[in-house]
Chains A and B, each alone.
Chain A
Amino acid sequence: TAGITQAPTSQILAAGRSMTLRCTQDMRHNAMYWYRQDLGLGLRLIHYSNTAGTTGKGEVPDGYSVSRANTDDFPLTLASAVPSQTSVYFCASSEEGSNSPLHFGNGTRLTVT
């Protein structure tokens, strides 16, 4: 089935440890995004990539890094996790065009203890 695959589905991580959240899409979309979703708040953009080889900072980039080596993959890395990074993380992609909707992966639920 075409779409976006995220891994892992959930993870418990000790504070100070590093982790990479994986995201792969097979729709050949140029634009990809990482969001975090916290109770009572709207989705917040962490990082984005408009095309392979380029990345940009979103609203809440501190503590996170991304890379975009190819069109399909857009991993998100937490170098040294802190409890405030406990959240549900969604990867998304979209076609070009202002009217193009986002296609979301199923999310990764991360708990930092």
Chain B
Amino acid sequence: GQNIDQPTEMTATEGAIVQINCTYQTSGFNGLFWYQQHAGEAPTFLSYNVLDGLEEKGRFSSFLSRSKGYSYLLLKELQMKDSASYLCAVKDSNYQLIWGAGTKLIIKP
């Protein structure tokens, strides 16, 4: 079966750095997405990786290793507004998105 694993919950301090991991086992790979979802709101797109390496976008970076079936989302200079769930999703060989259950990130002052 296809599977995406993420930690259920993480806690970090305002101003610090946090890394949210995502491991996947899918039938084929056609890209990995990260989304942010604030409580009670819709998911919004953060990043896309299809090649190995690091993609940087402001305070957020996303890394991919296809050989390890592994990605992480790195958030720097954490702000209170970064408190949200972070969803990892992989497009399989049929271009269908497989979603992880999400990581709830709690930021403390």
Interface string of B83-102 (1 = CB under 8 A from A): 00001010100011111111
Q: Determine whether the beta carbon of B99 is less than 8 Å from that of A104.
A: no
Q: Determine whether the beta carbon of B100 is less than 8 Å from that of A45.
A: no
* A1 CB contacts on chain B under 8 angstroms: none
**Chain A binding site: helix, strand, loop or mixed by DSSP?**
loop
Q: Determine whether the beta carbon of B42 is less than 8 Å from that of A106.
A: yes
Q: Determine whether the beta carbon of A104 is less than 8 Å from that of B30.
A: no
A-B contact number at CB 8 A: 46
Q: Determine whether the beta carbon of A42 is less than 8 Å from that of B99.
A: yes
- Total interface residues on A, using CB and 8 Å? 16
Q: Determine whether the beta carbon of A42 is less than 8 Å from that of B102.
A: yes
Q: In this assembly, does A69 line the interface, its C-beta being within 8 Å of a C-beta of chain B?
A: no
Given contacts A99-B50, A102-B45, contact A42 B95 (CB under 8 A): no
Give residues of chain B (56-96) contacting chain A, Cβ–Cβ below 8 Å: 87, 89, 91, 95-96
